Amino acid sequence: MKLIIHGGFFSEADQSNETKIAKQTALKEISLKGFQKLKNGAAAVEVVVFCVELLENDSLFNAGYGSQIQSDGKVRMSASLMDGETEKFSGVINIQDIEHPISIAQVLQKEDDRVLGGEGANLYANEKTDLGKFFDPRTDYRIADYEHKKEDLLAKNHQAGKGTVGCVALDIEGKLAAATSTGGKGFELVGRISDSATVAGNYANEHCAVSCTGVGEDIVSNATAAKIVTRVSDGFSLEKAFEKTFLELKKYDGFAGAIAIDASGNIFHHDSHPTMVWASADEGGISCFN
Ligand code: ASP
């Protein structure tokens, strides 16, 4: 049993020591809670959703409550879930005004149409689940940040938000799963699609599970998560699969980070730029970024 979570990059506007410690504490607590569930026999696919829900609740991260605001002042969130056993991928893209995008992705696992976008995702949440209740994901911090960017004529050059969250887990039965949730880059064009609800940002099979964060356009161009998983399936070690995949990102200075676990229980994480925040848990205890 193993679990690793990430909270995106530590390169958002607020890089104070206080925030760093708060992120470390939150990630450690959530990884511990998730690991406890694995120990109690919960399936990986349940535990990754559980951890991502907790991360979505925490306004320190750019997912669910505390999501980045887009250029028109609205929050649109994306999340996906992949069950490594069934190899089913489900997700929502640009869903609005709900509390837990990852929970809708979870419900969608049972559908034939498993990735829903925009209005359709909200319609599904409202009509087919009890998870569609109105919830304003904006925090005062994000609103102030958005206003600042709007006033700033250099808005186009602002730093993309990189606090996406994700979790991968290996359960007691040796099954893997991956979940990822995001508020996007912040101040993006309306209609922009994040990597987080694509197979580039979140992918799993029986051999490996991966969740990414970073600049979605780079992650999609590189097909990062799907590539790492495919390479491990074809016999690469986790480390070698990361090495080759991140080398390919270098061509265009791709900005990405990823967390992974393979079927043997190896855990790996890597980032192309400083610094992805993460925590992992197994029988040996908890590790965390510093
Ligand atoms: N990957 C996300 C996106 O581009 C952003 C992030 O990881 O923070 O939408």
Span 9-54, pLDDT tens digits: 987 667 789 999 999 999 999 999 999 999 999 999 999 999 999 9
For residue 163, which atom of ligand 1 is closest to its CA? 8
Which residue's CA is the closest to the ligand 1 atom numbered 8?
A: 162
Residues 6+ apart with CB under 8 A from 183: 62, 63, 64, 66, 67, 68, 69, 75, 76, 77, 137, 161, 163, 164
What's the confidence (pLDDT) of residue 17? Answer: 92
CB of 16 closer than 8 Å to CB of 24 = no
112 CA distance to ligand 1 middle (Å): 27
34 CA distance to ligand 1 middle (Å): 23
What's the confidence (pLDDT) of residue 225? Answer: 98
- The yes-or-no verdict on residue 284 having pLDDT over 80 is yes
For residue 161, which atom of ligand 1 is closest to its CA? 8
Q: Where are the domains of the chain?
A: 2-288
Q: What is the pLDDT of residues 198-212, one digit of tens each?
A: 999 999 999 999 999
For residue 68, which atom of ligand 1 is closest to its CA? 8
118 CA distance to ligand 1 middle (Å): 17
Active-site hit among 139, 164, 182, 198: 164
**Does 222 contact ligand 1 (Cβ within 6 A)?**
no
Q: What is the pLDDT of residues 145-193, one digit of tens each?
A: 888 888 775 555 555 556 899 999 999 999 999 999 999 999 999 999 9
To the nearest whole percent, how much of the chain has pLDDT over 90? 89
Q: Average pLDDT for residues 113-128, to the nearest whole number?
A: 97
Q: Choose the residue to mutate in 182, 212, 218 for probing ligand 1, maximizing ligand atoms within 8 Å of C-beta.
A: 182
More confident site: 6 or 162: 6
**Does 70 contact ligand 1 (Cβ within 6 A)?**
no
**Does 215 contact ligand 1 (Cβ within 6 A)?**
yes
For residue 183, which atom of ligand 1 is closest to its CA? 9
Q: Choose the residue to mutate in 56, 75, 194 for probing ligand 1, maximizing ligand atoms within 8 Å of C-beta.
A: 194
Whether 164 sits among the annotated catalytic residues: the reply is yes
To the nearest whole percent, how much of the chain has pLDDT over 70? 96
Which residue's CA is the closest to the ligand 1 atom numbered 9?
A: 184
**Does 162 contact ligand 1 (Cβ within 6 A)?**
yes
Considering the four listed CATH numbers 3.60.20.30, 3.40.50.720, 3.30.2010.10, 3.20.20.60, the one that applies to the domain covering 2-288 is 3.60.20.30
What's the confidence (pLDDT) of residue 218? Answer: 98
CA angle 230, 234, 235 (to 5 degrees): 120
